[in-house]
A and B are shown apart, each in its own frame.
Chain A
């Protein structure tokens, strides 16, 4: 149980393109999903917290107009990197927490490697 699917796993596109990444909880409902970014050989850094039916909460320094997050249902959150540039190239990972709070761990997707040419 507790499977999180992330799609696509890899994207290569030209500078200026907008890229959408999907994060789905397959066998549980997730009121809260999280989007992380990981640079090579570095740790995961939280970008934003996505709550179903409300606006995402962005971490300091993350451009909300650049990284659009939509959490339209209890099983789907999307991250759109708008007008992507080479510096946006990174590994993006989502996670989802099941309903309830304190004792629910985050389950991670397989990540998306984004390469902007």
Chain B
């Protein structure tokens, strides 16, 4: 079974600074997808960024980028120019890409990000 590990229960960053959230995963599959979701106090799950395992290029979405290291099974999220609105729980998630396989998302335990003004 696939597992996702987020080793940082909490992180903090100064406004306008850069922070990196760590995520590692374990799988025997070669085709899969990785995601970062943000959950603010409102509890809504918001997709931040996603990465297809077959793509070597790291995904970027404005101030959010990932460092995808497939061999190391690492998928970290970098938030640049942090803003107060970035404060939230961040969940790393894995999904199989195999046709006919499970579509379920396997989540890590989350990292609580605090942004200090």
A45–B42 CA distance with the chains assembled, in angstroms: 18
Contact A93 B45 (CB under 8 A): yes
CB of B87, distance to nearest CB on chain A (Å):
16
A43 with B103, Cβ < 8 A, contacts A91-B43, A107-B47 known? no
Give the size category of A's interface with B: 20 to 34
Q: Are A34 and B43 in contact (CB under 8 A)?
A: no
Residues of chain B in range 32-80 having any CB-CB distance to chain A below 8 Å: 33, 35, 37, 42-47, 50, 52
Q: Is the CB of B109 within 8 A of A43?
A: yes
Contact A105 B107 (CB under 8 A): no
* In contact, A110 and B44 (Cβ under 8 angstroms): yes
Q: Chain B: which residue is nearest A93 at the CB level?
A: B45
> A34's closest neighbor in chain B, by CB?
B104
Residues of A with C-beta under 8 A to B28? none
Query: Across the interface, which residues of A come within 8 angstroms of B107, CB to CB?
Result: 43-45
Q: Are A110 and B109 in contact (CB under 8 A)?
A: no
CA distance A45 to B110 in the complex (A): 12
A75 at the interface (CB under 8 A from B): no
Return chain A residues, CB-CB under 8 Å to B105.
34, 44, 46, 95, 106
Contact A46/B104 with A102-B97, A105-B35 known, Cβ cut-off 8 Å: yes
Rounded to whole angstroms, the CA-CA distance of A42 and B102 in the bound complex is 22
Chain B's nearest CB lies how many Å from the CB of A3? 11
Enumerate chain A interface residues (CB-CB to B < 8 A).
32, 34, 38, 42-46, 49, 59, 91, 93, 95, 97, 101-103, 105-111, 113
25 contacts between A and B (CB under 8 A): A32-B103, A34-B103, A34-B104, A38-B43, A43-B91, A44-B91, A44-B105, A46-B104, A91-B43, A93-B43, A93-B45, A97-B103, A101-B99, A101-B103, A102-B33, A102-B97, A102-B99, A105-B50, A106-B47, A108-B37, A108-B44, A108-B45, A108-B46, A109-B44, A110-B42
Closest A-B pairs by Cβ, 7 of them:
A108-B45, A43-B107, A46-B104, A111-B43, A110-B44, A43-B109, A44-B107
